[in-house]
Chain A
Amino acid sequence: MNMGLLALDENLASSIALRYASQLVNMLTLQLQAGHVEVPDKKQHSGGTGWVRRTWERGLQEAGQQAVQRLLNTEKVPCPFIGSPKVFIGDRDKEFLAELGSGRYDLFIEGNLNTSDINNFYELISSPLYTKTPCPIMVVKNLVSSDSVALLCGDGVDHQSVIPKALSLLKGDALHYDLIFYRYQETEATVSTNKDEAGTVLVEAEKLLQAANIKPANVQVVTGTPESVAAMLKKYCLVATSFPVRKTPRLELLAQCPSPILLCKNKARKSS
């Protein structure tokens, strides 16, 4: 059973992530722990010690618990958690990294709204949480009801490490898989071609799936602009790939992709 940490704030992105996660737990062998970081205002920061500090921290804890509870009450989503929400106080990235560093988690899930500004996504994946995370991260942008997953290769993805990792998180009989090799090209429409166009990548990737007794529904090279290919990806409930670390066409594709994305680590992380 995999264990996921679901980040919840009292906002729209968390609302969508919560609904999506409730779908996931019905499809996958996944348990969820809700987590929230209460970030103190600079003015709020207590310089006190002892009782004063404990009282201040307790107040923030309660505020965080109430924020998460309000979200859960509003959404009324049947999402089973393994315990009550964990509330941390401090810097959001640092606190989540510390919790993920405990080794209890196989996956971190959070919502992030799809925007027209690619820089927003670049800032997200360049943040300490994303660059230092010990486990894969699922970024939920929209609530998608589908049972198809795209395994996205090409443009620096180490398929030998990403695909087994993604499959270990998504194990279960509920999902179907397409293998996609992305290639950037300035064309009006997307063009799908045979897997041979990707050299050995898709052949090897297909073997990795076969080793897990999975037959992909489609194996293809998709060529086009990030915008056009991102529009094509909206039919998938999840797009699994590796963390992009530079501003490449794949990063732009992931920024534009309206579907949730699963980011796994390349083995060496030398380049992406």
Chain B
Amino acid sequence: MRILIAFDTHSYSSRIVSEVAKLAANTWADITMLAVQPAGSGNKTDATLAKALRQYRTDFIDQFDAGDQPYGGNISNEEFVQKNGAWELSKHSPALASRKELLLKIRVGDPAKEILAEAREHEADLIVLGCTKGLDSQWKGEVDLPQKIAKKAACSVVVIKEKKVPTTLTCCLDQTHVSQSSLEMINQIVTLYQAELKIVGLTDNKGTDGKAGVENSIAQILKYYAERQISAWIKLVRPEDLEEYVAEVSRENMVGLWMGKKSLLGKIFSPNLVGKLVNHSQSSVLILR
């Protein structure tokens, strides 16, 4: 598993480090910490961004016990190396004995496009990014960046809103086609936040074998979580009510939407609605693919 964490230099970015570290500790994922500097900044790294990334890495590594350090220890005097038009700083020093990769990377160009390109080129399973809290979720200086990533990424995305720890994860799942990795991702998020899990299924789902099909599929999902000691609430919602329901719960709860290629929710929720959800949600948003 590879997690791509997209950073800038603002407080909503620094805040997500400890949360991603917990996620990394649970999943043993390879990590890419990515920042994007504007084109035309010369043949060198943006000093502020580079410094911020190094600090994020230090903060990330500090979340692990010294004796249990899958990403190696801290070093302070290394430099970014130019590679394929970007700058990278990787920990491959034998002295650090890292078991998992922790790559720092600075790309050049438009932040949204570069984050998506990095996720695509290196087959990230999950993009994590922070953003400002409240009704207009943004990256400072970038218009609608969190929305663009949530809409356009080919992999799962978590948008973590500043200073809002969710107490409930409400997951809308298209029961027939939910992937194992998505179920596991939900498990990780619930564990990460110690949140309650609410599973929302669709009634009259034409994509399944009627009511019995919906119920059998939810039963399987429930069983999956019961085996992991996670109890879940169930709510069935009519497809025509789903958009309104999601808008309502997103005021209080973290919302997870399964938007895989085969998902019926993908037909109900257009990419624009996903962007709107990210924008209007008062809590964090998880887009599963």
Residues of A bordering B, CB below 8 Å = 11-13, 15-16, 113-117, 141-143, 145, 234, 258
Contact = CB atoms under 8 A, between A and B. Distances in A.
Contacts of B235: 114-116, 258
Interface of B: 203, 212, 215-216, 218-219, 222, 231, 233-238, 241, 245
Contacts of B218: 12
Given A11-B215, A145-B231, A258-B233, 17 more contacts: A11-B212, A12-B234, A15-B219, A16-B234, A113-B234, A114-B233, A114-B234, A114-B235, A114-B236, A115-B203, A115-B238, A116-B235, A116-B236, A117-B238, A142-B233, A142-B234, A234-B233
5 contacts: A12-B216, A15-B219, A114-B236, A117-B241, A234-B233
Contacts of A114: 233-236
B237 A12 contact: no
**Chain A binding surface, main DSSP class:** loop
A225 to B, nearest CB: 12
A45 B254 CA distance: 50
B215 A12 contact: yes
Nearest to B249: A231
Contacts of A12: 215-216, 218-219, 222, 234
Nearest to B241: A116
A92 to B, nearest CB: 15
A44 B216 CA distance: 25
A97 B169 CA distance: 40
A116 B244 CA distance: 11
A115 B231 contact: no
B9 to A, nearest CB: 36
Contacts of A142: 233-234
B273 to A, nearest CB: 18
A258 B170 CA distance: 14
B172 to A, nearest CB: 12
Contacts of A16: 234
Contacts of B238: 115-117
Contacts of A115: 203, 235-238
Contacts of A113: 215, 234, 236
A142 B222 CA distance: 11
Nearest to A145: B231
Nearest to A188: B251
A110 B241 CA distance: 26
Nearest to A259: B233
Contact of B237 (A116, A141, A143, A258): A116
B150 to A, nearest CB: 24
A115 B2 CA distance: 37
A141 B199 CA distance: 13
A13 B203 CA distance: 14
Contacts of A15: 219, 222
A16 B232 CA distance: 11
Nearest to A227: B248
Contacts of B203: 115, 117
Contacts of B237: 115-116
Contacts of A143: 231
A142 B200 CA distance: 13
Contact of B245 (A11, A116, A234, A258): A116
B215 A13 contact: yes
Contacts of A145: 231
Contacts of B233: 114, 142, 234, 258
B198 to A, nearest CB: 8
Contacts of A234: 233
Contacts of B245: 116
B252 to A, nearest CB: 8
